Amino acid sequence: MVGELPDYVVENRRHWDATADRWVDAGQRRWAVHEPTWGAWGVPDNQIPLLPDDLYGKDVIELGCGTGYVSAWAARRGARRVVGIDNSARQLETARRLADEHGIELTLHHGTAENVPEPDDAFDVAVSEYGAVLWAEPIAFLTEARRLLRDGGRLSFLTSHPLAVLTAPLDGSVPSGTKLLRPWFGSYRYDWRDAVDEPGGIEFVPTVSQWFAFAHQSGFRIDDYREIQVPEWADDRRNFAVTGAWAKQWPAEHAAWLTAC
């Protein structure tokens, strides 16, 4: 029941159901392309390869799938079975419609990435791009990902870099600036319900060392980690909390590749 869910799950479900219409066009565009690009500025796949090139015969799960375009890319790379789970029923409506339109078979669950209705050791690959990696409690997210993955399975994710949040104005307005306004150490939970601009949602943005510690604690080995610089060809428009000009100087996003031990 909703009353038994953590407050952040309830708020994020409300937020994403309320804003789902804003993401339909972007979802349709990404479903229409076969070569993945990643993050807010569309960094090429050869720079941030969140998905293996060949997924033939692999079982893949996307944790926080939204409109499902990453799941579609996994299916097109030969995955045997692709599962997506998302907290927003409205987002999943778009994902199901696009899967039907493109003739791609996906198993889509409405629920949380901290409690996935799939058995232990069911997947070879798990991925999250701005999904549960940002909107779920990180230790719970990693622990559940480890349960779902077979030994040697791979988890990759891309999410907000803490610098993008720590430089955000305290009233929740955008864009982020060039001064640290929040402490580096301490809470990594950010409640945007009262934000001046684009209010709603509760995000989790641990520091880099916290991510590393949580990953080891949850049974993962860290194979690669990258702080993402926006390409020089990117324009200076704002994406989420930061402008392109900002993200050419400091990382707004980072990505990691982990192996289940």
DSSP states along 119-172:
-TT-EEEEEEESSHHHHS-HHHHHHHHHHHEEEEEEEEEEEE-HHHHHTS-TTS
Instruction: Compute the mean pLDDT over every residue in the chain, rounded to the nearest whole number.
Output: 97
Under 8 Å between Cβ of 90 and 118 = no
Q: pLDDT at residue 180 above 90?
A: yes
Domain range summary for the chain, segments of one domain joined by +: 2-34+52-160+205-238+254-260
Q: pLDDT at residue 1 above 80?
A: no
Q: Which residue has the tokens 């349709």?
A: 28
User: How is residue 59 written in tokens?
Assistant: 């079982």
CA distances, 77 to each of 34, 90, 129, 228 (Å)? 9, 26, 17, 24
Q: pLDDT at residue 224 above 70?
A: yes
Query: 2-34+52-160+205-238+254-260 sits in which CATH class?
Result: alpha beta
Residue at 2: amino acid letter: V
How many other C-beta atoms can be found within 10 angstroms of the C-beta atom of residue 230?
26
pTM > 0.95: yes or no: yes
